[in-house]
Chains A and B, each alone.
Chain A
Amino acid sequence: MPEPKNRTHSVREIKVKTPGGKVVLQFRRRKPKLAHCSSCRAKLPGIPSVVGRMSSLSRSQRRPERPFAGKLCSACARKVFMQKARSIGASS
């Protein structure tokens, strides 16, 4: 039976083979999944997946320095700005 602290869904079981040849259960903390673009579901670079330390990181360490960073990928953000530029021309 695992210890009470390991009886939780945030901990996963791993089977490890020891040098003596025995297979032994070990427990590891689950990592949060990477952030994805909200429009095209691509993985967003520049956003770390850390266990429990995200709030201790500084704002610039959590996401890139760009509008829509952390929400849209760079390609999708460019589309937004292009649309903005073209709509200005259309309205004027």
Chain B
Amino acid sequence: MVLEIGRVCIKIAGRDAGRHCAVVDILDSNYVLIDGATRRRKCSILHLEPTAQKVELKKGASHEEVKAAFAGIQLEVLATKPKHAAPMPKKIRKSEAKSAQAAPEKKGAEELIKKKDSVKKEAAKKNEIDAEIVSEEKSESSREAVQGSQKEKPAAKKKSAGKE
């Protein structure tokens, strides 16, 4: 049989017509398994035209082995990239988009409020401290004043008593 394992052929029918391929396995008197620049699949021998070239392949060789064999005779092989499903585009409603915009604003407001509170607390603390200082001063001055007034009061009383 002309179509032995490893025989390089050209596919003459179908989508892959005109491309090189190698016979990888003989399935039937009418069908063979091909691989190479074509898709790896079962093919009718009527749709293959053998060439004079032959490649060393084991029966049922994998795509990688065919690729290596073809590289030796400078022929290209069908390369398929692994397909990764793209993430589904998520539809964002206008209302959701607006709320998403408002949320960072709210957060900013909360932070501002917190800052204000802390500032207030600091101010209150400062005021308390100041008040204490002031009160201390006042108490000192008041003691003096009281002492002074005590001195004055008896004088006043005397005066008032004198007047009366």
CA gap between A90 and B52 in the complex, in Å: 8
A92 cross-chain contacts in B, Cβ below 8 A: 51-53
In residues 77-92 of chain A, which contact B (Cβ within 8 Å)? 77-78, 80-82, 84-86, 88-90, 92
Q: Is the interface of A mostly helix, strand, loop or mixed?
A: helix
A85 near B10 (CB under 8 angstroms)? yes
Answer whether residue B49 sits at the interface, using C-beta atoms and an 8 A cutoff: yes
Answer whether residue A65 sits at the interface, using C-beta atoms and an 8 A cutoff: yes
- Assuming the contacts A82-B12, A85-B9, asked whether A67 and B17 have C-beta atoms less than 8 A apart, the reply is yes
Could you say which interface size class chain A belongs to?
10 to 19
In residues 24-55 of chain B, which contact A (Cβ within 8 Å)? 49-53
Measured CB to CB, the closest approach of chain A to B3, in angstroms, equals 13
Measured CB to CB, the closest approach of chain A to B72, in angstroms, equals 14
B15 in complex: contacting residue of A66, A89, A90, CB < 8 Å: A66
B52 near A88 (CB under 8 angstroms)? yes
A86 cross-chain contacts in B, Cβ below 8 A: 49, 51
A81 in complex: contacting residue of B15, B18, B53, CB < 8 Å: B18
Closest A residue, CB atoms, query B73: A92
B49 cross-chain contacts in A, Cβ below 8 A: 81-82, 85-86
B9 cross-chain contacts in A, Cβ below 8 A: 85
**Chain B interfacial positions (CB closer than 8 Å to A):** 9-15, 17-18, 49-53
**Chain A interfacial positions (CB closer than 8 Å to B):** 65-67, 74, 77-78, 80-82, 84-86, 88-90, 92
